[in-house]
Copies of this chain bind each other. A is one copy, B any other.
Amino acid sequence: MEYFSGHLGKLAEELASLPGIGAKSAGRLAYHIIGLPEEKVQRLANSIMAAKSNVKYCKECFMLTDAETCPICKDAARDHCTIMVVENTRDLGAYEKTGKYHGVYHVLHGAISPMLGIGPADIKLKELMERLRGDVDEVIIATNSSLEGETTAMYISKLIKPAGIKVSRIASGVPVGGDLEYIDEVTLLRALEGRVQI
């Protein structure tokens, strides 16, 4: 894309560096932003800076929140003896949306990936081990069903088991509503292995 304005080109370049925004949509977005009313643009720029400066990690579970301790960790009605381990705050949000999980969480902020050079020390694993010194009955590992997620799950499970704490992994199988015909073989085999009696 050619730009006849350095400022416009610079904005498109910044936008294109964000994930999921290609060069073409970055250009379209840049032109759209130029066309917006001044106060709307100001609001967008401000919300970016405000989010960056004010959002921090909860000191208990490390999810992204505005306060020192997040609303979930503060909630006395939740079961603080069950900890669900997730890779990031988005995954936490996905489980929270189900409205059926009443325990607390622990956000790793990543997964172990030898390929990307991310080791156990690069994610919030030490912090998880510290939490386990308290009163914990079960750790549910809900990392993604990817190579990195599985590796992380295995690693955590081996780390925790000796302490005598129950460790579980969320089930892997055919998604509800999924058509068997379109599901990959690995998932089909996982679903078969994990079959439950009815």
Contact = CB atoms under 8 A, between A and B. Distances in A.
A149 interface: no
Q: Which range contains the number of A residues in contact with the other chain?
A: 35 or more
Given A20-B29, A90-B27, A4 B70 contact: yes
A121 interface: no
The A contact surface, by secondary structure, is helix
A70 B48 CA distance: 31
A84 to B, nearest CB: 14
Contacts of A25: 20
Number of copies of chain A assembled together: 2
A5 B55 CA distance: 7
A54 interface: yes
A33 interface: yes
Contact of A31 (B29, B42, B44, B64): B64
Contacts of A54: 5, 7
B7 A55 contact: yes
Contacts of A70: 4
A18 B28 CA distance: 10
Interface of A: 1-8, 10-11, 13-15, 18-21, 25, 27-34, 36, 38, 41-52, 54-55, 58, 63-66, 70-72, 88-90, 93, 96-97
